[in-house]
Every structure is written in structure tokens, then in C-alpha cells.
Amino acid sequence: MSSKVIDEQPVIAREGWLFLAISVFISGLASVYAPLWVALLFWLISLFVLQFFRDPVRTIPQGEGLVVAPADGRVIWTGITHDPFLDRNAIKVSIFMNVFNVHSNRSPVDGVIASIWYRAGSFLNADLDKASEQNERNALHLKASSGEDITCVQVAGLIARRILCYVQTGAYVEAGQRFGFIRFGSRVDIYLPTTAKLEVELGNKTVGGESIIAQLAS
């Protein structure tokens, strides 16, 4: 199995530049005008912002039928369920991202964006099963190059209030390519054909674009 480096983004995600600039500016002012402990507190906040918006280069495994993780995090759900977007039975994998995970979202396969659905909703704890149905979410229907239908859903969380998606219907994406970002804790659900072979289990940690989560049937 070969691999490919995806190097399309800066080390710090562009979504965080404004937040980082503001936090560093305030920290600098605190260093001059505030007590030392206050300045240290603001610099710790700046470090948190820096780590939250980090966006490291990823090396994407290459191989026929491979499905890579769409996000960094922990697998909190696997099994056969109903895909509400394509109205079919499917294997679902849910990946929970806490505030210390990288929050870039990456395409799980090579393919074309066939459809995009946005649904408003609540902001329940993203670790809960019902968050998939009740929370604000943005879903991509990917028609994989191998012909399979994949649904990849960005789900907002308890404190996540912004889902960002940068692809449009008809666009071609490569596996591991960055397509969006969710700010401040959330989850990504992926629906696969029932013929796919899962390569992850509950509790497994994933690295977006690098971890193989499934193998599509050839």
C-alpha cells in the first residue's frame, strides 16, 4: 500500500487566524498593563487557541477501496443503521472530536460531491447517539470513484456553533482532502454500504485522512 502527502493547508487552519490574532493581541496588552498572573492566563488561552486550530500535514494511504477517517477523534458508534440522507441501510461510524483534537474534516474517499444537505437543529452533547438526528448538521453525498455511495455528516456539538463546508455539488475531492471545519468540539458520522468491511472498533482513536476505517467491497 502506497501513501500520498496532502499539503494544501497552512500549519494553522485559516479559520483560526482571527481568533489567534485577537488572543495574542490581548495577551500582549495584559503583559504590559495587567498583573503577571493575568498575563499568564491570557497566554495560556492563546496557547489553547493555537493548538485547537492546528492543521498538520497528513500522509494519506493509497489503495483501491480504502476509506480514511474524515476526522481526528474517538470512535463512539459503529453498526448497521438507517442512512436518513440516502434512505438506505448502511454501516455507520461516528467519530467524536473533543476540544483537543484537530478539527479539520477530510474526505473519506476519492469521488464527486453528488449532493449537500444542511439541516438546522439543536446543540446537544455530540457524544450522545441522538445528536446525529437532532443536532445541526451538514451532510455530503459522495459518489466514490469506485461507484459506491458514501454519506459524510458534520454534526455540531454542545459548544460547537459553526459548521464550515468549503466544497460544492459537482466538485471532485481526493481521499484526505480537506473539505470543512467544525469549531469547538463536535462529531462526524459516515454512512457506508453494508458490504464494506470495518477496520475500526468502538474506542479506537482516528487520525483524519490517515487512519483507515473501512474497506469497500471490490
In degrees and rounded to multiples of 5, residue 180 shows phi and psi of: -170, -175
- The sign of the torsion formed by the CA atoms of 201, 97, 188, 56 equals negative
145 catalytic? Reply is no
The angle, 0 to 180 degrees and rounded to 10, between the axes of the packed helices 36-52 and 17-33 is 170
Q: How far apart are CA 174 and CA 172, in angstroms?
A: 7
Half-sphere exposure of 182 (CA within 13 A, CB side): 33
- d(CA 88, CA 99) in angstroms, rounded, equals 32
Residue among 23, 46, 107, 186 flagged as catalytic: 186
**Using an 8 Å Cβ cutoff, are 151 and 141 in contact?**
yes
Question: What is the set of active-site residues?
Answer: 186
